[in-house]
Each structure stands twice: as structure tokens, then as C-alpha cells.
Chains A and B, each alone.
Chain A
Amino acid sequence: MKAGALLLGASNGMRLTALLRQRDVQAQLAFVALVVLVVWGMVQNAASVEGRDAVQSGFGFLWDRASFQLGESLIPYGAGDTYGRAFLVGILNTVKVAICGIVLSTVLGLMIALGQLSPSVLTARLCRLYIEIFRNMPLLLQLIFWHTFLIRGLPVVRQALSPVDGVYLTNRGLFIPGIVGHVAYGWMALALALGVAAAVIVSRIARQRDTQISAGWRAALVLVPPLAVFLAFGAPLSVDLPHLAGFNFKGGWTLSPEFAAMVIGLTLYTAAFNAEIIRAGIQGIPKGQTEAALALGLHRRQIMRLVIIPQTLRIITPPMTNSYLNITKESSLAVAIGYPEVVRVANITLAETNRSIECIALIMIIYLTLSLIISALLNLANARVQLEQR
């Protein structure tokens, strides 16, 4: 802005000096100068610290080979792969635990919220008690407790606890039946995506022509393509039960104690907050809305679907967005119990390479990006549920 003014000849030069005399402008310039000076000093100081020089800094180390193993990973990873790949493993693990936490804490939160609003006084009290207990204890304490419990409180593999056949709880992890992977599943996912797209397009066209297609047709559009693919492949479905082989269980799906502790802890803690958000959302709808709907002759279910739920969604979407962002950020506490997500990977990398500035910058960039993606997605959802304001 100021540089532009400088270029515009002599008459503007006087305007510039006049501008510079204003105290607002002086204060802002002084602030910028101060920030530049502080940052410059910090960079100088960081550069002068022993062991850091131009060759060593920068993010080039991401292509170097790492020598550590990671406990679990969604993509193949072993010692000898690059640091960059280790970070990718960390990101995927963060996303995995965040998605599990978001889904489960929403379901549990909804159940507790409904319990609180139920006609039964005792149920409401019980739900209230749950909320007060779980939201007033630090999440880290809960995570450490669950992790300690899962590795110290559960029996060894030989005496595995088996509440249901095929489910084994041991101090090495939780073993549950898994579905054997098949090529068909990839195609089914694609077919599902196409089906959803078709449903969206068809209902948009229908809306433009001022008609509506029924929910049944929409469900059919979404569900038939993947089902057809499934049958076309000859319905490949086989469940793999975990079984004892040697010193450990083989087969099925394994949840590591770290992952299980993260999901349990995040779910129980966040469900308490989500329950409060949802309850406030339902209670935030004036009673007159229900009464008006009754007066119009709507059924209970119609009132719920057409009047209460749309308005509740409008109220709870922004705070739920916040809650989901919190889960994603709080999954970083996994570093304390050794679940290999972003912060843990960065921490190990930092210890191995001594690139403290780069590693911390990476943590921040990754979380900022994740936060931006989540808020962008949920802002879209929010735009859909919000009332059109005049």
C-alpha cells in the first residue's frame, strides 16, 4: 500500500508524509518493525546454536532413511523407509483414530443426550452422572488409565478373556473377527460412490422440475450398484476368526492396546461433551414448534423428522464441528501412550535427527491442514442445514 503511494509522483509524496504523521499508521509501522526485529533475532540465534548450519536445516531430511519401527500402520512401513513415509503413516494413524472417535462419540453422545431427555427420571440422572464424571477428568488421565488397564489388567494370551466366541481380550491387544479382504470390495466402494453421485444428481434434477423422488428410490440408487457388484463377484464373504497359533493369536483383526485405549478414551471423554451439545440443541427448540406441528395434524414421527431434527441440526452443527476438531487435535495425546500418530512420529524423528524446528513445524502444518479440511467439510454441511437468512 505504502510502496504504491511512493510511486505515484510528488503530489502523493506529501500525502505520504501526512499519512506517516498519523498515530495509527505510526503504531502499525512500529509493530511491523518490532515483529521483523524479533523474528530476525530468533533466526540469528537459532542459526548460531551449535550443530546447525545451512546444510543441515530444511526439510530435505524427509527423504532420508529412518531407522525406527512403528507399532502399527495402514500402509507398509519398516525401518529403512524414509522419514517422509513415517510422517505419512503418522497422518493416516491420526485420521484413523480421529474418525473412530468422531463416529463412536457421536453415537454415544446421542444416546446419552436422549437418555437425559427421557421421561424416566432415573435414566436422566444416570446420564447426567456419566457426563459429570467423564468431562471433569483430564483426557490424558483417562487415556493413560485405559492404556495401563489394557496392558496390565487384561490376561496374557494363553488365558485370553473371551466374552463372545471369536473375540479375545489380551494384554497384547484385542482380537476380533475380521472380514477377509477381496478385490470385489474396492469395486463395491467405487459403485457406492457412483450410486451416491447418481442419487444426488437425480434429486437435484427432480428439485429443478419441482418434483420429489421418494426416499426409497434414493436408497435404491445408492445401494443397488454395490450390491450388484457384490453379487457379480459371486458374493465373496468370509469371516476370519482369530485363533491361537504359537504365542499369539493369528487371523481376524487386531486392535493394539494403544489404539484401543485411544478410541475408548476419546469416545468416553468426547461423548460427554457431545451429549451436552445435542441435549442443548434439542432443548433449544421452543415447545411451540411441537405444538404448532401437532395443531397442523402431523404425526409424532413426522414432527420429529420434519420439525425437530432439521432445527436441532441447525443448532448443533457449529458446536459439533468444534467437537470434531477437538477430537482430531486431542488425538495428539496418543504420544503419551505410544500410539504412532503424527506427534509421536515427529517426536521420534526429532530424537533421531535433531531437527527440532522442522519437526515441530511439520506437526503444526499437518494439524492446521487437518483442521482446515474438517472445518471446510463441516462448513459445507452447515451451509446446507442453516436457514436462508434474509
Chain B
Amino acid sequence: MMQQVRTHPPLIAGLKELVKTPTAALMNLVALVAFIAILKPIVEWGLIDAVWSGTDGSACPQGSGACWAFIRDKSRLIFFGRFPLDQQWRAGVATALLVLLVAASLTPTFWGRKLGVAWAVGLATYFLLMAGGVPGLTPVPSAEWGGLPLTILLTVFGVGFGLVLSVPVALAKTSKLPVFKVAATIYVEAIRGVPLISVLFMASILLPVILPEGLTPGGIGRALAGIVVFFAAYMAEVLRGGLQSLPKGQYEACASLGLRYWPMMLKVILPQAFVIVLPAIVNMIIAALKGTSLVVIVAMMDFLGTTKASLADPDWIGFYVEAYVFAGLVYGIMCGAISWYGRRIEKRFVGAREHKN
């Protein structure tokens, strides 16, 4: 395919590709028919017959298409949950800030002291905006945080703290010291053998039992603890792969320079390992974003939770297809965006690295 010299303009070449062989032509025809058969009702339902505005369920009588008026009416609830209505801009700005920080952190060029400062300032601003409590910003208790900001909070901090926890675990797993190696192996294998929901149950039900009173975190904190413990085990495995794929010469060079263990790890080995595992970490972010939807089961109001909650309005009964399709679209766009960003980074950094070596 690569060596083929294109003599035709792209459109004609594309058409020729469609009828290259009789089998291909036939299959293309079948696929086209199937595609139209699937797409036509969807387009009719979602666009042509759809109802775009209205104030209650009577705007969308039986037999009409998708009732996007429902989503429009409920969008505040779906996106922000119970966050006070006039303060929702704060949750929006804070979440956008968090997403920007993460996007910057995924680019190895930005790795350095400045990024640390940016995170410190950004996090302070984030919590100030979310929680309030200073003059001009009314306090919003964390129990009222919900919707998309909560989903993104759980994802970002879940993966963030998970990465922090995964570094010592991965080092312990590759260590020669038996106690650390065994402890890390037990932790990683036990967590990877059980479902996320059981870890979330453990965090939300067991933490209050085994921790002394006063030390038990609130609802979000407990859910976050479960997510961190769960994804850290997977990320430790990813990181261990990265550590083991580094050539031995790197370790030997450090030893010949007289570097001790920690400077060697922090300055030479880990930065390289992180670049190697970056694509896997991006996949982890996608898995975590989808995984956070499980907090619904422990009665938290994340994006899926608020979507479900929007269905309880007696003015709008029975628009579950619209609600779930919309939520699915939002999740799909977010996951798609992350994987697109991940592929871009991979091309620029991981590929470049492999070329040089």
C-alpha cells in the first residue's frame, strides 16, 4: 500500500479501492446497506424527529424522536449535580483548570520544577474554587460536589495519587530485598484479582470500622481511597514493565558514576521509565475515567449518578434513552479525546526515543 504510486486524484483512488475485487465490491455494498439501515433510524430519531425545546414531558409526545429538550432542561443537574446553582461556574472553572494541568503534565517537555509550582498554585486555586469559604466565595460542602466535576476529580486524583503510590510499589517489586518484594507482590496480585467494586465497598464500609473516629475521610475521600488503591496496583505493574525495559547499561552507568540508589532512581531511571510507560498511563486514565462510574454503587453522585438522578423528575418521565445516550456521548467524547491526545504524545516522545537508541 505504501509504495503504491497515486496517479489518480484521491476521490477516484478511493472509489477504485472500494471495487478492487468482486468480493470487496460485494462486501462494501452489504456494509453500505447495513450502515444505512443502522444510521437512518438513528438520524431520524436523534436529529430529524427530535424535540429540542420544551419545559416538561408533554413537549415530547409518544412517537416523536429524541427528546433533547429533556437534556436541555436537566443539563445543570446532569453536569453539576447538587452544586449550588449560582455557584456552578466555580466548579466549571476549577475543573477546566485541573484538566489543563493534567494535559500539561502528560507532555514530557514540561516536566520540571515549573510544573510542580503550577500544580501547587493550580491545586490551591482548585480547592478554593470548589470548597469556597473565603470572602466572596460561599462555602460548598464536599457532599454537594457532583456530576462531571466529581467524575473528573476522582479520575485525576485517583490516577495522580495512584501514580505516587505505584512508584514505591514498583520499586519494591523489582527490589532485591525479600520483605519489600513479597509485600508488593501480595498487594499487586490481591488487588488485580478482585473487582474494583469490592475495593470501593471496602473503602466505603470498612474504613469507618477499622480507622479511629475522626480519622475517617468523608464520602469522596473514601471513594478516592478505593480508586487510588485499586489503580495503583495496575500502574505499579505498568511501571515495573517500564523499569525492566530500560537497558541494564543505565543502571551500570549510574553505579560506575558512584550514584546511590535514590539519586539513581529519581534522576536517571524513573524519568526514563515514565516516558516509556506514558502511553500505558494514558490508557490507565481512560480506564479510571470509566471506572469512576462505579462510585454510583456506593451512593455517590458522579456524572452517571446525576444522569440517573435526572430521570427521577416527575415532569419528565421515561426519557432514559436520551439520558443514557447523552451520558454515553459525553463519556465517549472524553475518552476519545484522551486517547487522541495520548496517540499524539506517543508519536512525539516515545517514538522519538526509540529512534535515537
For residue A360, CB closer than 8 A to chain B, the reply is yes
Instruction: Judge whether A141 and B331 touch: CB under 8 Å.
Output: yes
Residues of A within 8 A of B34 (CB): 126
Q: Is the CB of A145 within 8 A of B320?
A: yes
**Pair A363/B194 contact, Cβ less than 8 Å:** yes
A112 within 8 Å of B (CB atoms): no
Cβ-defined partner of B209 (8 Å) among A41, A45, A153, A329: A45
Cα A31 to Cα B179 with chains together (Å): 8
**In whole angstroms, what is the CA distance A22 to B337 when docked?**
50
Whether the Cβ atoms of B332 and A133 lie closer than 8 Å is yes
B307 contacts across to A, CB distance below 8 A: 141
Whether B28 and A121, one on each chain, are in contact in the complex, defined by CB atoms closer than 8 angstroms, is: yes
A330 surroundings in chain B (CB, below 8 A): 195
Number of A-B contacts (CB under 8 A): 152
Q: Report Cα–Cα, A329/B234, bound state, in Å.
A: 14
Chain A residues closer than 8 Å to B194, beta-carbon distance? 329, 363-364, 367-368, 371
Q: Which residue of A lies closest to B329 (CB)?
A: A137
B contacts with A, residue count (CB < 8 A): 56
Q: Is the CB of A333 within 8 A of B197?
A: yes
Q: Give the Cβ gap from B306 to chain A, nearest Cβ, in Å.
A: 12
Does B53 interact with chain A (Cβ within 8 Å)? no
A152 lies within 8 A of B320 (CB): yes
0/1 string, A21-33, CB within 8 A of B gives 1? 0001001100110
Any B CB within 8 A of the CB of A123: yes
Tell me how far the C-beta of B237 lies from the nearest C-beta in chain A, rounded to whole angstroms: 11
Q: Taking the nearest CB of chain B, how far is it from the CB of A358, in angstroms?
A: 11
Could you tell me if A32 and B193 are in contact, using CB atoms closer than 8 angstroms? Answer: no
**Which B residues between 205 and 240 are near A, CB-CB below 8 angstroms?**
205-206, 209-212
**Taking the complex as formed, is A148 at the interface, i.e. its CB lies under 8 A from any CB of chain B?**
yes
CB of B257 to closest CB in A, whole Å: 21
Does residue B6 face the partner (Cβ distance < 8 Å to A)?
no
Closest to B334 in A: A136
Using A45-B211, A364-B190 as known contacts, say yes or no to A126 and B183 having CB atoms under 8 A apart. no
Chain A residues 332 to 356 lying within 8 A of chain B, measured CB to CB, are: 332-333, 335-336, 343, 347, 350, 356
Establish whether residues A28 and B179, one from each chain, have CB atoms under 8 Å apart when the complex forms.
yes
Q: Does A35 contact B (CB under 8 A)?
A: yes
| CA A106 to CA B222, docked complex, whole Å | 36
- Chain A 120-144 per-residue mask, 1 if CB under 8 angstroms from chain B, else 0: 1111011000001100111111101
- Chain B, Cβ-Cβ closest to A29: B179
Cα–Cα, bound, A35→B321 (Å): 49
Chain B hits for A141, CB < 8 A = 293, 304, 307, 324, 327-328, 331
Q: Are B35 and A122 in contact (CB under 8 A)?
A: yes
**4 shortest A-B CB distances, which residue pairs?**
A120-B27, A122-B31, A136-B335, A42-B210
Interface pairs (17), CB distance under 8 Å:
A42-B211, A46-B210, A119-B23, A119-B27, A120-B28, A138-B304, A140-B293, A141-B307, A142-B328, A144-B304, A144-B324, A356-B209, A360-B206, A364-B194, A367-B198, A368-B194, A371-B194
A interface residues (Cβ-Cβ under 8 A, vs B): 24, 27-28, 31-32, 35, 41-43, 45-46, 49, 118-123, 125-126, 132-133, 136-142, 144-145, 148-149, 152-153, 329-330, 332-333, 335-336, 343, 347, 350, 356-357, 360, 363-364, 367-368, 371-372
